[in-house]
């Protein structure tokens, strides 16, 4: 593998890191947002199903939400390390 075979550039990595941060925020806010959406759905004409389904849309996946946040935070950190090491060295040259 050589440095000449460039496929991924650092702007793309930076963009991925920004997107990951957006997703982490969305995942962290998921319970509150689901609660708000369920509240906004309300129980029109005493119909309860949609409110319940929206409020608990994560269901069994809820336990994996924290895992995903942790995993994304790790990846975001690794990307930062790659970018920082690149630009750190770049300043030397």
Partner 1 sequence: MGGSVEGGTAGVAVSTGQEIRSMVGEPDTVQKAGHAMSGYGRLMTEVGQQLLMIKDSEIAEWRITGKATDKLRSGVAEAAQMLAIASALYAPIGQALEIYGTKTSDYQTELNKLALTCQEQWRTYQRLLAAYKSSTAPAPDDPDYDQKQRERSKAETEVMDAYDAWSHNATLWNNTYVSWFAQYTSAVTSLSDPRLEAIRKGELPEVTPLTLFPNGDPDPTDVDQGSVGDCYLLSVLAGIAKGDPDKIKDLITANADGTYTVHFKDGDITVRVDQLPDDGQADWVRVIEGAYQVHEGSFEEFDNGGDPAAVMKAIYGGDADYKDNKSGIWDWLTGGNDIDDSGGQIKDALSHGRPVVAIASDGALGFDGGGHALTVTRSYDKDGVAMVEIRNPWGSNNGHEGAIRNAGGTLHDPDDGYFTMSFADFAKAFTAVEIQK
**Which residues of the shown chain bind partner 1 in the complex (CB under 8 A)?**
1-3, 5-10, 12-13, 16, 19-20, 22-23, 26-27, 33, 36-37, 39-45, 47, 49-50, 53-54, 57-61, 64-65, 67-68, 71-72, 74-75, 78-79, 81-82, 84-86, 89
Residue pair 17/77 in contact by the 8 Å Cβ criterion: no
DSSP three-state, residue 79: helix
Phi then psi dihedrals of residue 42, to 5 deg: 60, -160
First to last CA, the chain: 22
CB of 61 to partner 1, least distance (A): 4
CB of 89 to partner 1, least distance (A): 5
Residue pair 55/35 in contact by the 8 Å Cβ criterion: yes
CB of 84 to partner 1, least distance (A): 8
């Amino acid at each position: 593998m050589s440095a000449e075979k460039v496929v991924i550039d650092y702007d793309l990595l930076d963009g991925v890191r920004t997107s990951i941060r957006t997703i982490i925020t969305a995942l962290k806010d998921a319970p509150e947002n689901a609660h708000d959406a369920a509240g906004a759905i309300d129980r029109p004409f005493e119909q309860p199903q949609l409110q319940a389904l929206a409020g608990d849309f994560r269901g069994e996946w809820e336990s994996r939400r924290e895992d995903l946040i942790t995993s994304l935070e790790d990846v975001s950190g690794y990307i930062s390390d790659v970018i920082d090491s690149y630009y750190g060295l770049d300043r030397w040259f």
